[in-house]
Structure 1
Amino acid sequence: MAEWFAVDPTNILATVLSALFIYAVLILLVRLVGLRSFSKMTSVDFAMTVAMGSVLASTILSAAPSIPQAAVAMASLFGIQWVVSRLRKDTDWMEDVADNEPIVLMAGERILRDNLEKTRVTENDLWAKLREANVLDPNEVRAVVLETTGDISVLHGDPSGKALHPCILRGVREAERVGLGRDDYDG
């Protein structure tokens, strides 16, 4: 157990220098490619964030870090993410391959239990998200959507107020269950 607390000044210095160099490479790559790489707007972005964290951690904590190898790995991940995001933007097929489709979990105050089951979201998770969104009464809920990233969006407001605009649910699976006609969501 004493080895857990042993300090080797050379290893400490190597860890600090590795962290500084690899952090500088990360900043450079983010400046070149843009912050969109860490936006987590899609599952590809989320995977990029996780993979980048893994590369950074393994480089910094390695007994014999290879900064050039880590820099190449990071540049490769940024390159892959950039290509996938361009293909998503320019082609329908890549968007279909790379993205999960958002789905309605609540239509108004009605919980869509079949969609909860499909998505493996529990009712307690749903109630927690409503509380997090400051919903004071289930009657205030217009729709709850499980987004492509796994985030849950809660659309709410005064039920007697402005109606939910159909474009807000464009591309959301089963959006017609919220109460507007299917044609309202397509254009």
Structure 2
Amino acid sequence: MDWIFSSLDTLGTTALKALLIYLIIIIYTRISGLRTFGKLSSFDFAITIAIGSILASVILSGNVSLMQGMVALGVLITLQHIISIIRRWWKPFDHLVSNTPLLLMLDGRMLEENMQKVSLSESTLISKLREANVLNLSEVRAVIIETTGDISVLHASDQDRVLDDYLLKGVSGKPGEENLTKTP
């Protein structure tokens, strides 16, 4: 029955390690700022998984000390912070570790080639348009899949309102006429 129940010493040690590592992660998060667990790029997601693995190892494994966990967490969070600084100042590195936003729809027309690149179905796109309260496809100025995987819908009911090019800065997949499909 040892595999179901543990000794009180083991349970107490586990609870204490969980409490301490919880406090440590709060301190590290406060030091590194809000970006640590905000909307995640694929790189940030991988770091978050690694942090979770370290937390679990420290709490549940008798072979990993609290100090080892603190050092590992500190290294990962520091690396994440350094990489975010490098990404901000050196764009080629940002493109290396981050996804690029991709245009999925422009001026009421779906960009099917771009949708295929990200394996996005028409039904998913239509669902996102409904979530954004689009009533007519002619209202849609642009739909973009962001670096985080979120889908942004830029729309206006006033046909005279023009999409500012600045909002498409850094977005790939701007159309050549060959990948535009007129939607019904």
Q: TM-score, normalised by structure 1?
A: 0.81
- 1:51 alignment partner AA: A
For residue 163 of structure 2, give the secondary structure of its aligned residue in structure 1. coil
Contact persistence 1:116–1:122 (CA under 8 A): yes
Please give the root-mean-square deviation of Cα atoms over the aligned residues, in Å: 2.5
Size of the alignment, in residue pairs? 177
Q: 2:70 is matched by which residue type in structure 1?
A: A
Cα pair distance change 1:104/1:63, threshold 3 Å: same
| Residue ranges of structure 2 left out of the alignment (5+ in a row) | 178-184
Q: Which moved more, 1:123-132 or 1:148-157?
A: 123-132
- Residues 46 and 149, structure 1, Cα contact 8 Å, conserved in 2: no
Give the Cα separation in 1 of the matches to 2:101 and 2:34.
23
Q: Tell me which residue corresponds to 1:62.
A: 61
CA distance in 1: counterparts of 2:13 and 2:176, whole angstroms:
58
Partner SS for 2:58: helix
1:182 matched residue in structure 2: none
Q: Which residue is 1:18 aligned to?
A: 17
Gaps of 5+ in 1: 179-187
Measure the CA separation in 1 of the matches of 2:121 and 2:10: 46
Looking at secondary structure, tell me which structure has more helix per residue: 1
Kept in 1, the 8 Å contact 2:103–2:144? The answer is yes
Partners of 1:78 and 1:27 lie apart in 2 by 12
> CA separation of 1:66/1:168 partners in 2, compared to 1, >3 Å: closer, same or farther?
same
Instruction: Tell whether 2:178 aligns with 1:171.
Output: no
2:162 maps to a residue whose letter is A
**Closer, same or farther in 2 for the Cα pair 1:137/1:24, shift >3 Å?**
same
SS at 1:150 equivalent: coil
Check whether the contact 2:114–2:173 (CA below 8 A) recurs between aligned residues. Answer: no
Identity of aligned residues (%): 41
1:68 partner letter: M
Counterparts in 2 of 1:116-135, with a 5 A limit? 116-135=115-134
Instruction: Please say if residues 54 and 72 of structure 2, whose CA atoms lie closer than 8 Å, have aligned partners that are also in contact.
Output: yes
Cα distance change, pair 131–65 in 1 and its aligned pair in 2 (3 A): farther
Bigger RCO (CA 8 Å, 6+ sep)? 2
Q: How does 1:43-62 map to 2 (within 5 A)?
A: 43-62=42-61
Give the equivalent residue in structure 1 for 2:90: 91
Residue 13 of structure 1 aligns with an amino acid whose one-letter code is G
1:132 shift after superposition: 3.0
2:83 corresponds to 1:101? no
1:139 touches 1:159 (CA, 8 Å); kept in 2? no
- Residue aligning to 2:141: 142
